[in-house]
Amino acid sequence: MMHAYFSDDQLRHHGKTFIVAGEKKPIPEVPERADILRTAVSRLGLELRAPDDAGMAPIAAIHDEQYLDFLQTIYREWREAGGSELVVPNIHPFDRNGPYPRHHTGKAGFHLGDTSCPVSETTWHSAYASAQTAISAARHVRDKGAHAAYALCRPPGHHASGNIAGGFCYLNNSAIAAQELRAKYDRVAILDVDLHHGNGTQHIFYDRADVMTLSIHADPMDFYPFFWGHAEETGAQEGHGFNRNYPLPLGSGDAVFLEALDRAMAAIDDFGADAVVVALGLDASRDDPFGGLAVSPDGFSKIGEKIGTLTCPTVIVQEGGYVSSTLAENLYQFLSAFGVTNKNTTLSEGPK
């Protein structure tokens, strides 16, 4: 049976509000998301295991030292300077090629790409625990010979680049998991099925040939993150890039999404992936408050079934999916169709 991982420390962060079309609105990335998703895991008969603490090294393999220091220290620095209860940027650099800022306001603008990633006193604790959840799932597959593992990551991660937070994401859990798998597997693919393009993941691996990034998402011409996620972004390896984007028209439902998934699965096969990370967003749901795509619960079942045909080791990392009437059902349908209870638990004998 698949192992699943979660830490209660992941519930400590709550960003509260962000700016949408000039108005302050509640952030939908709330601790309640994790509680709802846990009901689906329980319904599947899986035990949520507390992750081990692997320390900073796996996180530092993806994220810059300055950025990690910022996430751990900016709240105290901001508050001591008289700042508000949440660290929220009010200015951003034209580019990030100049000297690193000394002032707390400059640091916030440098590292926080939009207003959806406020930093509170507890943000680092939750982001760190979320990354450890992904690391434990990856190591269960990598070191124990397991076929698959699920990381209930919250906050999510796929919008975070090496040194910039964005879209509710602080540490890129899927990228961290993929790098962990690279210690054993020569070629790793990250298949992102979130409503939003995985721009942080793309940025981290864009010039690499050992990790393929694939993202199925609402068309960024009309939807967050707006600036990235176009089909022509194929990677920096000239003539042999390993990034694939599948932007879908707003409102697309099951059939359109599944056709794009077939193309992504074929690309993974052509790449010859030895292991796969699934960045599992559930916000493509027709019931999700973001409303960008219209995948049904049955559609998530079919997505899980298709991805479950992968014969290589697979780490499923939770990304988006916000509070709705079908959030738990969508996760249940995906994981049950993927085969959490009927696949062989190991690919080969490994350390117990």
Residues with catalytic annotation? 159
Sign of CA dihedral 119, 122, 128, 130: negative
Measured distance CA(102)–CA(74) in Å, rounded? 11
Measured distance CA(10)–CA(129) in Å, rounded? 6
Which amino acid makes up residue 264?
A
Q: What is the token pair recorded at 311?
A: 């014969």
Measured distance CA(319)–CA(198) in Å, rounded? 10
Q: Are 211 and 273 in contact (CB under 8 A)?
A: no
Closest CA to 343 of 65, 180, 145, 115: 145
Which amino acid makes up residue 215?
S
Closest CA to 159 of 93, 108, 229: 229
Q: Would you give the end-to-end CA distance of the chain in angstroms?
A: 14
Measured distance CA(48)–CA(324) in Å, rounded? 22
Helix (H) or strand (E) holding 118: none
